Amino acid sequence: MDLTGYWVSIVTEDWRYRMVTPAKGDYASVPLNPEGRKVADTWDPAKDEGAGNQCRSYGAAAIMRVPGRLHITWDDDHTLKIETDAGTQTRLLHFGPGQAPSGEPTWQGFSAALWDVPPAGRGGGAAAPVRPGQPRGGTLKVLTTHMRPGYLRKNGVPYSGNATVTEYFDRTNEPNGDSWLIVTTIVNDPQYLQQEFITSTHFKKQADATGWAPMPCEAR
């Protein structure tokens, strides 16, 4: 499955949470526990700006929901690189055994990746489990840890440094020639969430870099 190239996000759901900054205290549909709601109610973008934390809503648990474009390339034989023009972020997806987080936590954390391939058929041998609705071409599964605390939404809905993010990247090729990238994101955070927070985000393949416009993080 080839994920390289330029992709643009298509916002067909959660428009009011993704295209504009929601009002303070608006955390509908996020399964926050009481501690998470308390933290969300203290959101202060000016304080984030003063502390140099404008990127708190651009971390790995939220960046795929930020409207914009992706540029996906291979950084080397074992590392897939995802660059975002929104917030000018870079994610590195590491393949292979023996990888481990090192250094201080970062906005994008440490992402371990593997190909989740469906069975090859009779006589094809063992294979990883296939999720319902998964294309026959397989899925890219990514587990991200070692993140700095950030926001699930721009209005201060929090996730902690203990959070983990599991993602499934699926590509589909349509009869009309369009290609789509569907990213299913599952955030687990025992500190601020009562249960998993699951979203599905859609990107459409572009022929070139048209519209690519890197912009810095914004706190508001």
pLDDT for the residue numbered 210: 97
What pLDDT shows up at residue 59? 98
pLDDT tens digits for the chain (220 residues)? 899 999 999 998 899 999 999 999 999 999 999 999 999 999 999 999 999 999 999 999 999 999 999 999 999 999 999 999 999 999 999 998 867 788 999 999 999 999 988 765 544 444 445 454 444 568 999 999 999 999 999 999 999 999 999 999 999 999 999 999 999 999 999 999 999 999 999 999 999 999 999 999 999 9
What pLDDT is recorded for position 119? 64
DSSP states of 42-75: T--HHHHHHTT-TTTTSSTTTGGGSSSEEEEEEE
